[in-house]
Amino acid sequence: MATDTAHKTARLYRMVMPEHTCPYGLKSKDLLERNGYTVEDHHLTTREETDAFKAKHKVETTPQTFIRDERIGGHDALREYFGEEVKDEDATSYQPVIAIFAVAALMALGLSWAFFEDLFTLRAFEWFLAISMCFLATQKLQDIESFSTMFLNYDLLAQRWVRYGYLYPFGEATSGILMVAGALVWISAPIALFIGTIGAVSVFKAVYIDKRELKCACVGGNSNVPLGFVSLTENLMMIFMGLWMPARALGWF
């Protein structure tokens, strides 16, 4: 943990080359300055100079920060030095899900205000669910190969018909877009009901019956979101919309 000194100075060695400026070097410089340090900023301008620096100090990476002649290390080590959290890349994280649902909710409220001059409308609720479906589908479509591979770990239909894992995100996106528009309900609703029901059964079996600990493919194939409540919520959301939208179209509500 850093301690206060009368004159806080740090030496930073980072790569600054014509074709590459190290982003972690910039982050380290910013972190030092935000903590009140005067930075002696040493640029490593060639690959040879960088390799020589690493060999001299017996380190494998740059940037490297020195405070009072003590080598602190790279950006993560510097964050630890200042008592800041260092992200564990393998740790469970709900951040992608929170971001998706938060932005979807704000967009739904914005649309509700634009169309009805009222934030809290029934249509806002429908937009929230439909936009969330679109965002979740987009996450999957960013790397459909990774998604389909992770999806095969638990989806019962995909395990019997592999191509379903490739079709699923397109079905979710199509259904969500049509529900945002309030159009072609007799196409969007059956799709949502079908994939939502299969998904809910698959997740429930994998998590609550088989007690398996898996990563959720709901926000793409490279996420650290655990399979369970979030994925089940996504599927129940689609089931609800698959039933609700036709009922609304028929004037039942």
Domain boundaries, the chain: 9-81, 95-249
Could you tell me which of 217, 138, 124 has the C-alpha nearest to residue 174? 138
Split at pLDDT 50, 70, 90, the class of 223 is low
Residue 5, pLDDT > 50, answer no
Q: What is the pTM of this model?
A: 0.80
State the pLDDT at residue 128.
97
**Helix, strand, or coil (residue 235):** helix
The pLDDT, as a whole number, for residue 222 is 62
**What is the reported pLDDT for 50?**
96
Count Cβ atoms below 10 Å from residue 91 Cβ, excluding itself. 7
User: CA 242, CA 247: separation in Å to the nearest integer?
Assistant: 9
CATH architecture for residues 9-81:
3-Layer(aba) Sandwich (3.40)
Q: Does the pLDDT of residue 3 top 70, yes or no?
A: no
Beta strands in 147-201 (DSSP E): none
| Residue in the structure block whose two tokens are 């509700």 | 112
69 compared with 163, residue with greater pLDDT: 163
Percentage of the chain exceeding pLDDT 90: 74
What percent of the chain has pLDDT above 70? 93
What is the mean pLDDT of the segment spanning 77-100?
83
Q: Which of 147-156, 183-192, 222-231 has the lowest mean pLDDT?
A: 222-231
Q: What is the mean pLDDT of residues 184-213?
A: 94
Residue 164: pLDDT band (50, 70, 90) is very high
